[in-house]
Structure 1
Amino acid sequence: MKELTVLSGKGGTGKTSVTAALASMATHIVLCDNDVDAANLHLLAQPVILEEYPFLRMAGQH
């Protein structure tokens, strides 16, 4: 199994677009959008969602 991670600390750099483009060329894949503010990979990839977990902040965190 191979793993590819696309990341950047800056928003608007095209991470989601690049990920969706790469995913469209692959078969038998698992996608994980870990953006806690705007997870929107599902809009481009239209995946079958098998698992979904809510993001919960701990008390005292900002």
Structure 2
Amino acid sequence: MRHFIPERCDFPTELIPLAEEGVALANSCKELFSHVDNCYSSPYRRAFETAKIILCYTGYPIR
């Protein structure tokens, strides 16, 4: 899955967080990924935030 909508800001690309809309979209997809037992994320902040939101109740680590 690709990360959701980034915040518009002047940070370096890898430090740009998710926008509020991106957070809402990630939250809306949590149940679709409830069966996932492995998750790999790029080190980009918004990618990690997306993975963290989607996997928050599975208990599985993000690698």
TM-score band, normalised by the shorter chain?
0.3 to 0.5
**Structure with the greater alpha carbon radius of gyration:** 1
Query: How does the TM-score come out when normalised to structure 1?
Result: 0.37
**Structure of higher RCO (CA pairs closer than 8 Å, 6+ residues apart):** 2
Query: How does the TM-score come out when normalised to structure 2?
Result: 0.36
